[in-house]
A and B are shown apart, each in its own frame.
Chain A
Amino acid sequence: MSAILLVARRDYFAYIGAWGFWISLLTAPLIIAVLLFAPILLARAEPPRVLTIVAERATDADAVKAAFASNALRDARGEISAYLSATAPSLQASAVAAFDAAQTREAAIAAARAVVAQHAAPNALAAFPNPSPRYRIVDPPARDIQALRPYLDGARTLSNGATIYGALNLRRDAAGAPVIEYWSTALNHDEPTTLAHRALRLEMQREALASQGLPPGEAERLQAFDPVIVQFDPRSSGEEGVTLRDRAPSYAALALAFILWSIVFSVANMLLNGMIEEKSNKILDTLLTSVSPIQMLAGKLLGVAAVSATLFLFWGALGGTLLTMAADRASDNIFGQIAAAFLDPRLLVAFFVGFIAGYLMYGAIFLALGSLCESVQEAQTLLGPVALVLAIPMMLITPALDNPNAPIIATASWIPIFTPFLMLIRAPAGLSWIEIAGQGALMFVSVIVILYLASRVFKAGVVDQVSLSSWRGRKAKG
């Protein structure tokens, strides 16, 4: 076996034999699943926030309470509709119709559930949502806002032990216009004021219409006017507008770019830490009589590449199976369409080419940096600027999603160290062959140049023992 393969083999088994590797291998899919579903679970787990309303006019208070109730109803409808879209799309329309026909929120949820139960869809019934409203409106425990303050700053609680999250003080100014005061210690949360504002604006419109001798109910009718929006993709020959199916590739590309970035950064870090460990273990002199620095660099890159391949095989098999199942069995809903987008061969090829190029560039840079460091602390001082550079493609993801061909994105994708990530994000928007060939060639040349420069630095680090701590002069040993 050649020296390169021996170094690669040893490094591979050293990583594979570590507990951390298996923990990462098994927990990463779980962590991703938790990250995906955590916001939903957290929202469900949070009890309704208790609000109270103090108002000069009872009609204002009633209008705001109605707005909160309407909002809670709309949220429940949206959640049930989305749930059925994912689990039982054929029942979605009838269940939503039953929901809309009911009189109260609780009755609406029960009616939708009954439709699902009636059609014997046990899978859809198992986790049928029973969402709590986000807010619970209670009668004010004090008659004015000043007397309410102890309840709002946490000094006092309600008789049932609940704390008041916020209070809406609705008053009228001298001209009779509504004024909304919102009192709460949660300074960044403004949804209650938004709802109250919408409700009282409607109330003002009703009053204005009434003063003109028109029916106040006209205000609701006018507000219900809602123009239809249809978006088209000029590249598509069909007459249908843009659907989620068309947008899915962009979301998939975004997710893959993030995964690619995380993996490249993780495995490059593996190389850095492995190199530092080897330097601190003082094993390099022993190895250097058998292996040249270039062979060692190549062996290490190959070893960690094999570790990555193992991760990809496991995650790829798991993810590929789940995505294929989702794409096949749920092609008519959001999950199936996004799953199908992940399996687009062009996107997968871009991902793997991006990984190989990104890994070689960042891996070589990190190995070279590691060879200059005697400790993790030293490495961290060097890693700061590198991490900032690595963060740039992530900062460009949001603007790239809005406009993949924006000048800043197009320009940045010509910078070889960003190309793997940005090319992936831009792929669904369509790249010209000139861009693909040009950026690919530039990336290929950069890989060669970076590998060459990294090997020079690596040689200086491991053979001549140049390090950060001896930067001003080469370390001389007796």
Chain B
Amino acid sequence: MNAALEAEGLVKRYGSRTAVQDLSFRVPAGSIYGVLGPNGAGKSSTLRMLVGVLRPTAGRISVLGGAADRETMKRVGYLPEERGLYRGMSARSAIAYLARLKGTSAKIAFKRADQLLTDHGLGKVRRKKIKTMSKGMAQKVQVLGAIAHEPDLIIFDEPFSGLDPVNQRVLEETIRAQAAAGRTILFSTHVMEHAERLCDRILLIAQGQAAFEGTVPEALALAPSVALLETEGDYDLATALAPKGFNIIFDGEEHGNKRWRAKLENGHGSRQLLQACVEAGAPLSLFEPARASLHEAFVALVGDKAAIRVEE
């Protein structure tokens, strides 16, 4: 598959501090690609380099088959992490202005602005000034401003932050719709669930370096599976199964029962765990094999210290 975006050996230093260190990845055309990592991992610096706002200290970037120059950037939509619009502008004017800066004609820009606002439930407020809108509405307007010129590649930096759960869902739908229209989407986030739901491929960054690059299932495969258990009374499951090599952690009490979380590792699967419980005579009231999360994969890849700042 063709690459919409390629980065090779990217480095960004601010004085003596290195924000991004030798980062290489490739975003397939038409895919949804997630750049994940905790705050301060180097995500924004990476994205700002990709759109030409920051000059890399070293490395090479290819965007839509060419250099990350202003002409190529006309085919790229970008939503920065630090968001803002001209407060005195109306929603439709703001969207049309951003589209016109990307080379769209005035007539088409205003037509698309009206259409996008209507499609996203903001048709009635399209002539309202940004300063009179809620933060979430203004953020929606800015997202629409980033896609109004119908770019081939869309880059969103932390697009979900600041949005309530309902609007996060709406934005997820927008991203899916853009991908369905054949566009390539790259977004950064520190919320792993969005990436799990949306991304075809992900790049995990920690301390400016790539910790993982691949598909979501590939990342999940790296995380240990777990099982959730519940025992009646005072039964101590962790002590009972420790001799058999199971790593079981107490996870709290509920309705007088004890909850446990077992990591399935060292060749132990859920079947072996259940069998061990039966053999030990454990008074089980719940046994639930659980799918590992991306966060657990991240922890497995970079360790607790680097992952501690990841908010779920």
Contacts and interface: CB of A to CB of B under 8 A. Distances in A.
List the 4 closest pairs (A to B, CB-CB), nearest first. A282-B84, A285-B80, A476-B14, A478-B40
Contact of B87 (A281, A288, A473): A281
A282 B14 contact: no
Contacts of B45: 476-478
A281 B86 contact: yes
A378 to B, nearest CB: 18
A288 B14 contact: no
Interface string B47-87: 01001111000000000000000100110101111111111
Interface string B8-50: 0000001101010000000000000000000111111100100
Contacts of A292: 70
Interface stretch (B93-101, B227-235, B266-274): B93-101
B145 interface: yes
Contacts of A286: 78-80, 83-85, 98, 142, 145-146
A283 B76 contact: no
B162 interface: no
Interface string A11-43: 000100110000000000000000000000000
Contact residues on B (Cβ < 8 Å of other chain), bracket: 35 or more
A476 B17 contact: yes
A287 interface: yes
B88 interface: yes
Interface string A271-309: 000000000011101111111100000000000000000
Contacts of A476: 14-15, 17, 19, 45
Nearest to A288: B53
A434 interface: no
Contacts, number: 86
Contact of B19 (A290, A463, A473, A478): A478
B102 interface: yes
A289 B88 CA distance: 22
Given A17-B88, A286-B145, A463-B53, 20 more contacts: A6-B101, A10-B89, A14-B88, A18-B88, A281-B84, A281-B86, A282-B80, A283-B84, A283-B85, A285-B82, A286-B142, A286-B146, A287-B101, A289-B52, A290-B74, A292-B70, A464-B54, A473-B15, A476-B19, A478-B45
10 contacts: A282-B80, A282-B82, A286-B84, A286-B145, A288-B52, A289-B76, A290-B70, A476-B15, A477-B45, A477-B48
B114 to A, nearest CB: 19
A10 B97 contact: yes
A281 B85 contact: yes
A74 interface: no
A475 interface: yes
Interface in A451-478: 463-464, 473-478
A1 interface: yes
A270 interface: no
A442 interface: no
Contacts of A17: 88
Nearest to A15: B88
Nearest to A474: B14
A3 interface: yes
A393 B43 CA distance: 50
A289 B40 contact: no
Contact of B14 (A10, A14, A283, A475): A475
Interface of A: 1, 3, 6, 10, 14, 17-18, 281-283, 285-292, 463-464, 473-478
A473 B80 contact: no
B144 to A, nearest CB: 12
A470 to B, nearest CB: 10
A464 B78 CA distance: 18
Contacts of B73: 289-290
B86 A285 contact: no
Given A1-B100, A477-B45, A478-B44, A289 B84 contact: no
A355 B39 CA distance: 49
Nearest to B149: A290
A444 B170 CA distance: 55
Nearest to B102: A290
Contacts of B41: 478
A281 B88 CA distance: 11
A473 B14 contact: yes
A292 B71 CA distance: 11
A187 B12 CA distance: 69
A187 B76 CA distance: 73
Most chain B CB atoms below 10 A, which of A286, A477, A478: A478
A286 B80 CA distance: 6
Contacts of A287: 101
A290 to B, nearest CB: 4
Contact of B86 (A14, A288, A291, A463): A14
Contact of A289 (B42, B44, B51, B82): B51
A16 to B, nearest CB: 11
B131 to A, nearest CB: 10
A248 B206 CA distance: 74
- Which of A18, A281, A291, A477 is packed against the most chain B CB atoms within 10 Å? A477
Nearest to B106: A1
Interface string B125-150: 00000000000000000100110000
A6 B19 contact: no
Contacts of B102: 290
Given A288-B53, A289-B78, A3 B39 contact: no
Nearest to B78: A289
